[in-house]
Amino acid sequence: MTTDRRSPRPRLTDVAAVAGVSMKTVSNVMGGYAPVSEATRAKVLAAVDQVRYRPNLSARNLARGRSGVIALTVPRLDLPYFASLAGSVVEAAGEHGWFVLMHQTGGDLDGERRALLGDHPQRLDGMILSTQWLEAEEIAARPDPTPLVVLGDHPVPGPVPHVGIDNHAAGLAAAQHLLATGRRRIALIGAPSPGAEPGRAQGLIDGVRAAGLPVLPELTRPITANTGDAGESATARMLAEVDEVPDALFAVTDWVAMGAIRALHARGLAVPRDVAVMGFDDIPYARSVSPSLTTIAPDREAVARSAVEALEAQVGGVLPGDDAGPAAPDGEHFAPFELVVRESTGTGI
Amino acid sequence: MTTDRRSPRPRLTDVAAVAGVSMKTVSNVMGGYAPVSEATRAKVLAAVDQVRYRPNLSARNLARGRSGVIALTVPRLDLPYFASLAGSVVEAAGEHGWFVLMHQTGGDLDGERRALLGDHPQRLDGMILSTQWLEAEEIAARPDPTPLVVLGDHPVPGPVPHVGIDNHAAGLAAAQHLLATGRRRIALIGAPSPGAEPGRAQGLIDGVRAAGLPVLPELTRPITANTGDAGESATARMLAEVDEVPDALFAVTDWVAMGAIRALHARGLAVPRDVAVMGFDDIPYARSVSPSLTTIAPDREAVARSAVEALEAQVGGVLPGDDAGPAAPDGEHFAPFELVVRESTGTGI
DNA sequence: CTGAAAGCGCTTACAG
DNA sequence: CTGAAAGCGCTTACAG
């Protein structure tokens, strides 16, 4: 029983012949939405099994007038947060019959702009764009009519749906955790940019203020990129310039927190004894570094699912049964998050 | 100047009409390999630009008899090594006209086996399978005729091409580095499995022995998974059982090294003062942890390029000009690597 | 439900 | 090079 590499793949007509039904019936069973009786359905599925039929997606997509491909754009695929998000998007998209074309922006405005203008070499059914720098106006004004969903930390008011977690609420939760463990001088690495919507950094600030405590400007540092290097140098600069060292530090990402810890260690400060440190994202390494990182864990699968659903809503019903047509994009979608407490904010050491 | 979302996309015939040539000529310019005069070529490209034409890949693939899709299987996409490898594969595949369908095995034998048997919901032009556990015999005996390339740390003798770095040579380089910095009692977390081909762990052992030094069995520990947790517990167990602490530790991955450092710290040992630590992979966090990690950096882009080329060689010429036909798979492909020295093996602290 | 057929937008022999 | 046409394997109105 050898398998000939060159043997032609079974087609829909082969299945129809074996099952003794019409092509249309097979097509309906395979994915169309016309009602098929249970008996016929079973007969067709048995025939599919027998000849080992798999639909040719190129033909299906050609006939349906869609490409079957969406693009997913992230800053970099070697950032675990975006990598695992990409994994979840690939899964969620697959359940809607989509392949995912991966793109990387490099993490700067220029790369995001290029992705938005999307000079893709092929036609896309939609795009999911993870952005840190693009403004809502620029997103709204794009010339390309391809259905779009935006992911990222800041809400994007306007016609384009946005999926994210409630960063302000997460920042509040971080503040409450640090305050609950007795910390009072809280530093913030990755300050909110002026004029930005309230995000995780603003949430932290509001949470500290709500407890009647000040947020000292000299403990609040912006960074240019969410990398370990940027976190390390911003923290080192802060430590060099401040009179009294903070007793807690909130970094806007885990990677930034890892850099901050390097700077604290270089100054001879122990974590968490002298300074409690919190990150954000719950990357897989958060539990492996020394000390392990307390962090906020966004529900990546929920983000991915919402994003694909928001895209599907714009594309409109693909199947005959979905006769609702393209729905209006509907703004803001929030996914859940969780506070994960580990050693870096512990009181034990 | 509004863009109608519903306006029909330009087709090949539209380009042909504008350029005043035949469909076939346009097709040849777009990707066929029949010779076209420079003047005609320029006329066609101008027309493509004018009507903003993009080929419909579903139609092209249907006509060419390929799906335009290859599958890439990795343990997990949130492991930065595999994530950045995936990014490189996506790029390299794109240059050959392929989309990449991402799969994750979860990192166990069962997941790899399922990927190998490949019950994919669609037809694939090829598969790139990153494996840690599958044996060469099982890979060679697969029933599925889809062209396959295997990635991973152990060579796979047999008909299926394998791409990787020379792990044994990398292990030798690691040993030489540790010995050159004066270390003599070298521990190994992630021992070679019995009967396995010589890999990075065996390379380290051979390098130490070549210097006339013993490799102590009690300093050589296997682990069940290349995670931080596994590295931490294996290292902790070793430290608890050994009479004299090692002065260096080689971990088979950076993540394992991060766990090992946690265990060393828990025992009050300083890195690198008391114990030098080396990892493997050069994940982005290797430079952000404290202390930053000395490691081996495989050339991921070279791995990705070789893998896609090895796949292309099996699929055979897609374009009319490539009339060589499917080439015989040709075994082992090695990509370069680099030793990156950072703080964790430094002598400065 | 069936059957026969048009159409999706390409590629590619074929005759000129 | 051109022109006219078949074919890739689906989906889907159309008449029954």
Does position B6 have pLDDT exceeding 50, yes or no? no
Report d(CA A270, CA A295) in Å as an integer: 18
The confidence band for A225, taking pLDDT boundaries of 50, 70 and 90, is: confident
Q: Which residues contact A244 (CB under 8 A, 6 or more apart)?
A: A185
C1' of nucleotide D13: residue with nearest CA: A24
In the prediction, which pLDDT does A305 show?
95
- For residue B49, give the 3-state DSSP assignment: helix
In the prediction, which pLDDT does A196 show?
67
The confidence band for B326, taking pLDDT boundaries of 50, 70 and 90, is: very low
B77, A83: Cβ pair inside 8 Å?
Answer: yes
Strand-pair partners of B101: B71
A256 and A242 in contact (C-beta within 8 Å)?
Answer: no
B314 and B329 in contact (C-beta within 8 Å)?
Answer: yes
Question: Does residue B120 approach strand C to less than 7 Å at its CB?
Answer: no
Greatest CA span in chain B, whole angstroms? 85
- Residue in this structure with the two tokens 């940019």, named with its chain if needed: A193
In the prediction, which pLDDT does B159 show?
85
Which of B100, B122, B144, B148 to probe by mutation at the A interface, max A CB count within 10 Å?
A: B122
In the prediction, which pLDDT does A5 show?
41
Tell me where in chain B the CATH 3.40.50.2300 domain(s) lie. 67-163+300-334, 167-298+338-345
Backbone angles phi, psi at A297, to 5 degrees: -105, 105
Question: Is the peptide bond between A298 and the residue preceding it cis, with omega within 30 degrees of 0?
Answer: no
Yes or no: domain B67-163+300-334 corresponds to CATH 3.40.50.300: no
> Helices in A149-213 by DSSP H: which ranges?
167-180, 200-210
Which of A2, A6, A76, A77 to probe by mutation at the B interface, max B CB count within 10 Å?
A: A77
In the prediction, which pLDDT does A88 show?
93
Region B75-95 average pLDDT: 89
Question: Is the peptide bond between B121 and the residue preceding it cis, with omega within 30 degrees of 0?
Answer: no
Q: Domain A67-164+300-335 falls in which CATH fold?
A: Rossmann fold (3.40.50)
Q: What amino acid is encoded at B28 in this protein?
A: N
B262 CB neighbours in chain A (<8 A) are 288-290, 292
Q: Which of A99, A232, A285 sits opposite B285 (nearest CB)?
A: A285
Please give the residue of chain A at the shortest CA–CA distance from B230. Answer: A288
A121, B78: Cβ pair inside 8 Å?
Answer: no
In strand D, which positions have an atom below 7 A from any protein CB? 1-5, 7-14
In the prediction, which pLDDT does B5 show?
40
Report d(CA B28, CA B25) in Å as an integer: 5
Strand-pair partners of A178: none
Please state the separation of Cα A255 from the chain's center in Å.
16
Region B95-119 average pLDDT: 88
**CA dihedral defined by B239, B245, B247, B253, rounded to 10 degrees?**
-10
When comparing pLDDT for A169 and B158, which is higher? A169
The number of beta carbons lying within 10 Å of the beta carbon of residue A201 is 26
In the prediction, which pLDDT does B181 show?
95
Tell me where in chain A the CATH 3.40.50.2300 domain(s) lie. 67-164+300-335, 167-298+338-345
pLDDT in tens, B133-160: 888 889 989 888 889 999 988 777 888 9
A103: left (phi over 0), alpha (psi -120 to 50) or beta: beta
Region B233-248 average pLDDT: 96
Please report the number of interchain residue pairs, chain A to chain B, with beta-carbon separation below 8 angstroms.
Answer: 158
What superfamily would CATH give domain A167-298+338-345?
A: Response regulator (3.40.50.2300)
Please provide the size of chain B in residues.
Answer: 349
Question: Does residue B7 approach strand C to less than 7 Å at its CB?
Answer: no
Tokens of B48: 């493509």
Please state the separation of Cα B341 from the chain's center in Å.
22
Backbone angles phi, psi at A222, to 5 degrees: -75, 155
CA of A310 to C1' of D9 (A): 30
pLDDT in tens, A281-338: 999 889 999 899 999 999 999 999 999 999 988 886 444 434 444 444 568 899 999 9
Report d(CA A296, CA A281) in Å as an integer: 6
pLDDT in tens, A34-68: 778 888 888 899 999 999 898 898 999 999 888 99
Does position B260 have pLDDT exceeding 90, yes or no? yes
Residue B194: Cβ-neighbour burial (10 angstroms; 0-12, 13-18, 19+)? exposed
In the prediction, which pLDDT does B301 show?
94
The nearest CA of chain A is from the CA of B328 a distance in Å of: 14
pLDDT in tens, B175-184: 999 999 999 9
Report d(CA B247, CA B347) in Å as an integer: 12
The nearest CA of chain A is from the CA of B66 a distance in Å of: 8
Region A242-256 average pLDDT: 95
